[in-house]
């Protein structure tokens, strides 16, 4: 009968260390293989191996003379070897009551002799052993042989330490990396008063701009400067991990409450001032996300996803810090799903389509143009609001092909109307990303040349925020468009970019007053005066003034008297898909003919 194998008194800590060191990963290490081969040759033994013991099995990290990758732990000789830091020897298993009935003795591989040097960490945790095995009995090792085997075991431990450094440290900065963070989450999960924190330092776009302007090495030096600044405000000896190119992580020995909020407020305050790196001031844009590491929650990938979602949400909203809420995870998952589905939608003839909202002369009521508005009907989710999916696309490279899709459809429709003698100007919205280079403009000019649409029948609307990123590039592209006769309108006029001097220099032909400015002018005196002032400013700059969001006759009358040229809104006409628009226009024509 096989005796139950003994357990080390520090078994729980030992298992955690095996997991932390990633010793059970399946990749082969050529250094381990070389050591085992040298051991086998030196001792002239049929079998030599490096074993690592986990809870139920022993696994062979390297082996010679045996095909198995491991065995159950309860029959392992190495289970005894890790009980001390001294060599463990079984000269003849047939004469040892602990092993004489062992299946590894009675069956394959037929162990008769075993000598195992334990692989011990500096704090006394036995990971496994380096062992020599023979199928014939042998005398105990000589002192010289024992010294040699001990030296080879030391080489194995040195390799483990080196691999740990390579696996758990970022090669560029030397900081603890994401792999180490994941292992430490495993070891801390379920402990009392433990929270995981992630800090977004800058946006990916800002980091990209820094690399382009100042070089990759500067970006690495900047991360180290950020780490040092963060370490100065965190509790002493807090380990800081580099989670990604723009994000750090650390653990907090507390849950949600005053203590954590006070710490987060201190971090936010510290990074309000520019950070100096190589004499250059860099303004960070931090967002802190936190989540309690309770035992009942999710799997390892979910912990990082959830805390990163919280940090991203905090930075995006400019609110400093944010504790993870379950709904946030669902929102992030939906956002990812929508972005994944949007690429497919652009290839489908049935999902994306345009609606058109008419725009009118404020004084005569004549219909002058239509604004093309994107609509998405997902096959399973149903109608997806542009207010949801367009901001998502604008945060990725998806916005460029999406804008080109809209422009292509709008140009095609405007061309059809033009060929039918029903020339109707179409207005299309473009994003900041569309105007920060020549790609979009080149594609648009090619579309016009191919379709034969007169450029004056197309208008592009862009928001003032487009000027914040690359004002000179935006101006250059707008000038190219104006040179061929395309009208250019500044959307959401008066709500964004505040450099009025630069706005005056833009080759724009019109400004659109945002609906948020218009909605209360019939009842709020201050809003009315603001809108009248903006209209007056636009007129002095030579713009055509367009107001959107007209929902009452009183609002229309105020705008008309203030000098507004064109208007659109639900009071006048709602956005309509093509068939409904054509029927509506025919109704207008019939009404006009009957007067």
pLDDT in tens, 99-134: 999 999 999 999 999 999 999 998 899 999 999 999
Tell me: do 184 and 102 sit in the same domain. Answer: no
Tell me: do 128 and 225 sit in the same domain. Answer: no
Write down which residue in 133, 168, 203 finishes a domain: 168
Closest CA to 306 of 263, 261, 243: 243
Tell me: do 115 and 246 sit in the same domain. Answer: no
Examine residue 379 and state whether it is found in any structural domain, yes or no.
no
The CATH number that applies at residue 68 is 3.30.450.40
CA pseudo-torsion sign 300, 304, 305, 310: positive
Structure tokens at 215: 């070089």
Examine residue 340 and state whether it is found in any structural domain, yes or no.
no
Residue 465's pLDDT is 62
Tell me: do 414 and 517 sit in the same domain. Answer: yes
User: From residue 110, how far is each of 99, 101, 413, 489, 490 by CA, in Å?
Assistant: 11, 11, 82, 86, 84
Three-state SS at 245: coil
Tell me: do 222 and 315 sit in the same domain. Answer: yes
198/287 Cα distance (integer angstroms): 8
Residue 359's pLDDT is 95
Examine residue 3 and state whether it is found in any structural domain, yes or no.
no
Tell me: do 570 and 540 sit in the same domain. Answer: yes
Instruction: For residue 106, give its domain range.
Output: 11-168
Number of domains in the chain: 3
| H or E element, residue 429 | strand 425-429
* Tens of pLDDT, residue by residue, the chain (595 residues): 566 778 888 888 888 888 777 777 656 788 999 999 999 999 999 999 999 999 889 999 999 999 888 999 999 999 999 999 999 999 999 999 999 999 999 999 999 999 999 999 988 999 999 999 999 999 999 999 999 999 999 999 998 887 776 677 777 777 888 877 877 777 776 666 788 899 988 877 778 778 888 888 888 888 888 989 999 999 888 888 888 888 899 988 877 778 888 999 999 888 888 888 888 888 888 889 888 887 545 555 577 778 888 888 788 777 888 888 776 556 666 777 777 788 888 888 889 999 999 999 999 989 999 999 999 998 888 888 888 888 878 777 788 889 999 999 999 999 999 999 888 999 999 887 788 778 889 999 999 999 999 999 999 998 766 665 567 788 888 899 999 999 999 887 766 554 555 666 778 899 898 888 888 888 888 889 988 988 988 888 888 999 998 999 999 999 999 999 999 999 999 999 999 999 898 887 666 555 4
Q: Are 300 and 182 in contact (CB under 8 A)?
A: yes
Tell me: do 187 and 305 sit in the same domain. Answer: yes
Examine residue 382 and state whether it is found in any structural domain, yes or no.
no
Tell me: do 186 and 113 sit in the same domain. Answer: no
194/173 Cα distance (integer angstroms): 26
Q: Are 339 and 392 in contact (CB under 8 A)?
A: yes
Cis peptide before 557 (omega within 30 of 0): no
Tell me: do 506 and 451 sit in the same domain. Answer: yes
Helices assigned H by DSSP within 215-366: 216-233, 258-270, 300-317, 326-347
Q: Are 48 and 40 in contact (CB under 8 A)?
A: yes
451/556 Cα distance (integer angstroms): 36
Q: Are 513 and 547 in contact (CB under 8 A)?
A: yes
Closest CA to 544 of 459, 455, 429, 428: 459
Write down which residue in 139, 168, 197 finishes a domain: 168
The CATH number that applies at residue 312 is 3.30.70.270
Tell me: do 222 and 116 sit in the same domain. Answer: no
Q: pTM for the full model? A: 0.54
Residue 35's pLDDT is 94
Phi, psi of 494 (to 5 degrees): 90, 0
- Report, in angstroms and rounded to the nearest whole number, the Rg of the chain calculated over CA atoms: 35
Residue 498's pLDDT is 47
Q: Are 475 and 506 in contact (CB under 8 A)?
A: yes
Residue 122's pLDDT is 87
Tell me: do 407 and 473 sit in the same domain. Answer: yes
Examine residue 2 and state whether it is found in any structural domain, yes or no.
no
The CATH number that applies at residue 578 is 3.20.20.450
| DSSP per residue, 505-547 | HS---EEEE-HHHHTTTTT-HHHHHHHHHHHHHHHHTTPEEEE
Write down which residue in 148, 168, 188 finishes a domain: 168
Residues in a beta bridge with 132? 48, 115
Tell me: do 246 and 149 sit in the same domain. Answer: no
Examine residue 497 and state whether it is found in any structural domain, yes or no.
yes
């Amino acid at each position: 009968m096989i005796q139950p194998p003994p357990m080390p008194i520090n078994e729980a800590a030992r298992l955690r260390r095996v997991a932390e060191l990633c010793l059970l990963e399946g990749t082969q290490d050529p250094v381990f293989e070389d050591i085992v081969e040298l051991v086998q040759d030196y001792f002239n033994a049929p079998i030599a191996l490096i074993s690592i013991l986990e809870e139920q099995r022993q696994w062979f990290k390297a082996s010679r003379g045996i095909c198995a990758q491991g065995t159950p732990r309860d029959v392992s000789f190495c289970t005894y070897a890790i009980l001390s830091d001294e060599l463990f020897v079984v000269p003849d298993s047939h004469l040892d009551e602990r092993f004489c009935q062992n299946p590894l003795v009675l069956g394959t591989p037929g162990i008769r002799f075993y000598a195992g040097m334990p692989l011990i960490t500096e704090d006394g945790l036995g990971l496994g052993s380096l062992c020599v095995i023979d199928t014939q009995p042998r005398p105990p090792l000589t002192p010289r042989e024992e010294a040699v085997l001990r030296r080879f075991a030391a080489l194995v431990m040195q390799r483990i330490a080196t691999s740990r450094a390579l696996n758990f440290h970022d090669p560029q900065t030397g900081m603890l990396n994401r792999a180490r963070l994941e292992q430490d989450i495993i070891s801390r999960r379920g402990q009392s008063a433990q929270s995981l924190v992630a800090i977004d330092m800058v946006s990916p776009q800002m980091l990209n701009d820094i690399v382009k302007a100042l070089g990759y090495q500067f970006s690495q030096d900047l991360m180290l400067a950020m780490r040092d600044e963060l370490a100065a405000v965190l509790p002493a000896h807090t380990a800081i991990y580099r989670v990604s190119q723009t994000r750090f992580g650390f653990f907090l020995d507390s849950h949600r409450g005053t203590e954590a909020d006070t710490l987060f407020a201190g971090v936010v305050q510290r990074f309000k001032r520019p950070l100096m790196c190589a004499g250059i001031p860099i303004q960070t844009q931090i967002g802190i996300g936190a989540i309690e590491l309770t035992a009942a929650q999710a799997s390892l990938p979910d912990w990082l996803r959830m805390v990163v979602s919280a940090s991203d949400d905090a930075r995006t909203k400019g609110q400093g810090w944010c504790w993870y809420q379950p709904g946030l995870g669902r929102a992030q998952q939906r956002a990812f799903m929508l972005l994944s589905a949007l690429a497919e939608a652009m290839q489908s003839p049935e999902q994306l389509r345009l609606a058109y909202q008419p725009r009118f002369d404020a004084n005569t009521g004549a219909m002058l143009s239509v604004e093309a508005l994107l609509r998405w009907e997902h096959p399973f989710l149903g109608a997806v609001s542009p207010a949801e999916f367009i901001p998502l696309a604008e945060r990725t490279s998806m916005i460029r092909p999406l804008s080109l899709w809209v422009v292509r459809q709008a140009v095609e429709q405007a061309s059809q109307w033009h060929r039918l003698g029903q020339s109707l100007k179409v207005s299309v919205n473009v994003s900041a990303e569309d105007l920060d280079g020549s790609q979009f403009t080149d594609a648009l000019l090619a579309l016009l040349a191919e379709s034969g649409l007169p450029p004056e029948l197309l208008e592009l609307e862009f928001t003032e925020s487009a000027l914040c990123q690359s004002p000179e590039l935006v101006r250059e592209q707008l000038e190219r468009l104006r040179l061929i006769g395309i009208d250019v309108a500044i959307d959401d006029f008066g709500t964004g970019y505040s450099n009025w001097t630069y706005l005056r220099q833009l080759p724009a032909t019109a400004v659109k007053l945002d609906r948020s400015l218009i909605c209360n002018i019939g009842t709020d005196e201050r809003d009315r005066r603001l809108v009248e002032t903006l209209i007056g400013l636009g007129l002095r700059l030579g713009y055509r003034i367009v107001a959107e969001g007209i929902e009452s006759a009183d609002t229309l009358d105020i705008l008309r008297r203030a000098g507004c040229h064109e208007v659109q809104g639900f009071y006048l006409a709602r956005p309509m898909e093509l068939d409904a628009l054509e029927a509506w226009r025919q109704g207008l024509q019939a009404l006009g003919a009957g007067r």
